[in-house]
Structure 1
Amino acid sequence: MNRRVYYGGLVFVAVIWGSTFPIIKNALLFIDPFSFLFLRFAIAAAVIFPFIVKKMTRKDAVYGSIVGIPLFLGYVTQTIGLKYTSPSMSGLITGLYVVLTPVISIFILKTGMDLTKIFLTVAAFVGMGLMTVNSASGEILGNALTVVTAIAYALQIVLTEKYLVDGDPLVFTFFQLLVVAVLSLLFDPSSAGKMYLMENHYVLFAVLFNAVFGSTLAIWIMSIAVKNTNAYISALILILEPVFAVLVSTFFFGFPVTSWMLAGGAIILISMVLAINRENRKRS
C-alpha cells in the first residue's frame, strides 16, 4: 500500500486525538478520571472483540499487553492532568513525545539520530511552544503529570514498532485497550459500579466518542501506520495533535486564535512535510 495512505491515517488520528482534549476536560466536571478511563476502554475493547476472537495468538496477546502498560500510564496521567491544566497546555506538554520518541528509539530499536532529524524534531517542538504563548500556565501538578504522559506515549510508539512486526494490528490493539480497562478498574474498583454516570448526556457522548473514535479506531490505525512506517515519522505526524486541540477548542469551545498559534501551526506543518519528503527520498 502507498505510504501516503499511512501518513493520511496518522493525520486522521491526530485530528481525533486533538479533539479529545476539550471534550475530556469538560467531561471531568461530571465523572472521575478512573471511571472515565474504565468505561472508555472497556467499551473500546468490547467493540473490537467480535472481530478478533478467532484470530488471537499468544504472541499478540503478550506483546499487546506489554505495550498496553505505557498506554495506560499515558492516559491516566493525561486524564488526571487535564483536571488541573488547560487543554492547550496539556496538548503542548503531551507533544513532547515527538522529541522523546527518537531518543527512546536509539536505546530500544538501535536507530540513529542524525542532524536533520534533530533539527526537524526541535523545529516541530518550537512550533508547539509558539502555539501556547499567552495560554494559561496551568497548575504544576497537572503539567508534571502530563510530562509523564509524553514519556509514556513515546515508549508506547517505540514498543509498537518493536513488537508489531508480523502481528495482527487489530488483535494487538484489543489487548492494549483491555489492559488499560483492567488497570483502571484495579486502581479504582468502584469504577465498575458507575455506569449510572453515563446518564449524563455529555458524559455519555464523551465516553462513546473517546471509546469508538479516540481508542478503538485511532489506536488501531496508529498501530497499522507505525508497523508500515516507523516510530520517528509517526511521532512527527502525530505532533499535529495539539494543533487540532487548539482548533477544536477555538471553534467549539470558544478559545481565541492568536497569531502565535498560526505561526506555530505553520512551523509544525512545514517540519512534518520536510520529514516525510526526506523519508520518501531515502526509500526511493
Structure 2
Amino acid sequence: MNSKYLGYTMAFITIFVWGTTYAITKNLLNYFTPFEVLFLRFLIAYLFLLVVKPTFNFKLNFQEEKLFLLLGLTGGMLYFLVENLALKYTSASNVGLIVSSIPIFSSIIAHFTTEDEKFDKNLILGFALAITGIFLILYNGNKVLKINPIGDILAVVCSIIWAIYSNLLRKVDKSYSGILVVRKTFFYGLMFMLPGLYLLKVKIHFEYLFNKDVSFSIFYLALVASSICFIMWSRSINIIGIIKTTNFIYLIPLVAMVSSVLILDEKITPLMVTGGLLILSGVLINDKKISFDKFFKPKTTTTL
C-alpha cells in the first residue's frame, strides 16, 4: 500500500475507534464503577506500551518530571475519570458531541499561556457557536431526554481538562518519542489512581473479566483505543502531516452518535444534531477551515 494511503487509513481507523469508545465505556459501567474502568484501562495500556518500548531514562530532570506529573494528572487521570463519570449520568452521544468542542477551549487557554495564539474574530465567533451548541445539547438532555444535566456539565469539564492537557503537551521536549510520552503519562496517571483505590476502598471485580463481552470491551479500550491507536496516530502524522491527520477528528461526533445508536440503542433528536453541527461549525471557524472574511470585504471593481 502506498505510504500516503496508509497514513490516511491509519488516521481513519484511529478516529473510528476513538468515536466508539463512548458507547463501549458506557456499557462497561453496567459492570464496573467509573474508577474501576479507568484503572483497568490504564494498567493494561501501560503494561502493553512497556512491552512495546521498554526503554528508560534514569537521568531524572525535575522540571521534566513535574511536567509529566501534570500530564498524568490531567490527560492521564482526570480527563478519563470525569469522562467516565459523565457517561454514567448522560448519553454517550451527548458526551461525544460536547467533547468535540475541545479545540475551542484549547485555543482559549493558549491565548493566556502562549505568545503565538491570541484572540481573533474566528475564535470569538467559533466560541459563540460552540457554546450555543453545548447549551442546546444540555437543554435537550434535561428537557427532552429527561437525563441528569450533571453528566453534560461533566462532559464540558472534561473538554476543559483535555484542553489544559493539550497545552501542557506542547511543552514536552521534542526529543521524546510519542510512545514514550504516552507511557510516562499513563505511569503518572496510575500513580495518582493508587491513593484513590485505597481511600475509596475500590474493589476491582476481576470476575467480570470472565464475561467475554466485558473482557473484549476492556481490552478494546486499553490495547486498541489507548495503545495501538496512539501509535497509528503518531505514525499517520509522520506520513501525511499533522493538519491532514487532525482533520479526521471532525468525524468523532458522527461516529459517537452512530455507535451509540447501534450499541446502546440511544435516541438521536433534532436538537442534538443541531447542537453538534453548531459545535462543529465553531471548531471549523476557529481552525480557519471556514472563513467569512469574503462576505465582509467590500467588493472591488475593475475599470478599463
| Bucket of the pairwise TM-score, normalised by the shorter protein | 0.7 to 0.9
**Which structure 2 residues correspond to residues 149-188 of structure 1 after superposition, within 5 A?**
149-188=158-197
Answer yes or no: is the 8 Å Cα contact 2:122–2:288 preserved in 1: no
Q: CA deviation at 1:212?
A: 1.2
Q: CA deviation at 1:103?
A: 0.6
**Which structure 2 residues correspond to residues 1-284 of structure 1 after superposition, within 5 A?**
12-54=13-55, 56=57, 58=60, 62-71=66-75, 72-110=77-115, 111-120=117-126, 122-123=128-129, 134-135=140-141, 136=145, 138-189=147-198, 191=202, 193-220=204-231, 229=242, 234=246, 238-257=249-268, 275=287
1:126/1:23 CA distance change after superposition, 3 Å: same
Cα distance in structure 1, aligned partners of 2:74 and 2:137: 27
Name the counterpart of 1:282. none
1:163/1:278 CA distance change after superposition, 3 Å: farther
Answer yes or no: is the 8 Å Cα contact 1:18–1:245 preserved in 2: yes
Query: Structure 1-normalised TM-score?
Result: 0.77
Show CA shifts across 1:4-41 (max 9, x none): 98887665544322211111111111111111111110
Q: Read off the aligned partner of 1:114 and give its amino acid letter.
A: D
Cα distance in structure 1, aligned partners of 2:92 and 2:74: 21
Answer yes or no: is the 8 Å Cα contact 2:11–2:236 preserved in 1: yes
Say which SS state the counterpart of residue 188 (structure 1) adopts: helix
Answer yes or no: is the 8 Å Cα contact 2:126–2:284 preserved in 1: no
Query: Structure 2-normalised TM-score?
Result: 0.73
Q: CA deviation at 1:265?
A: 6.0
Answer yes or no: is the 8 Å Cα contact 1:128–1:242 preserved in 2: no
1:95/1:272 CA distance change after superposition, 3 Å: closer
Between 93-102 and 49-58, report the one with greater CA deviation.
49-58
Between 245-254 and 132-141, report the one with greater CA deviation.
132-141
Cα distance in structure 1, aligned partners of 2:4 and 2:112: 26
How many residue pairs get aligned? The number is 275
Q: Read off the aligned partner of 2:215 and give its amino acid letter.
A: L
Q: Read off the aligned partner of 1:46 and give its amino acid letter.
A: L
1:98/1:26 CA distance change after superposition, 3 Å: same
Gaps of 5+ in 1: 280-284
Answer yes or no: is the 8 Å Cα contact 1:173–1:223 preserved in 2: no
Name the counterpart of 2:300. none
Gaps of 5+ in 2: 292-304
Cα distance in structure 2, aligned partners of 1:92 and 1:45: 28
Calculate percent identity across the aligned residue pairs.
22
Show CA shifts across 1:235-271 (max 9, x none): x763543322101112333334555666666666677
Q: CA deviation at 1:114?
A: 2.1
Answer yes or no: is the 8 Å Cα contact 2:137–2:275 preserved in 1: yes
Q: Read off the aligned partner of 2:154 and give its amino acid letter.
A: L
CA RMSD of superposed structures (Å) = 3.8
Cα distance in structure 2, aligned partners of 1:128 and 1:225: 30
* Largest Rg, 1 or 2: 2
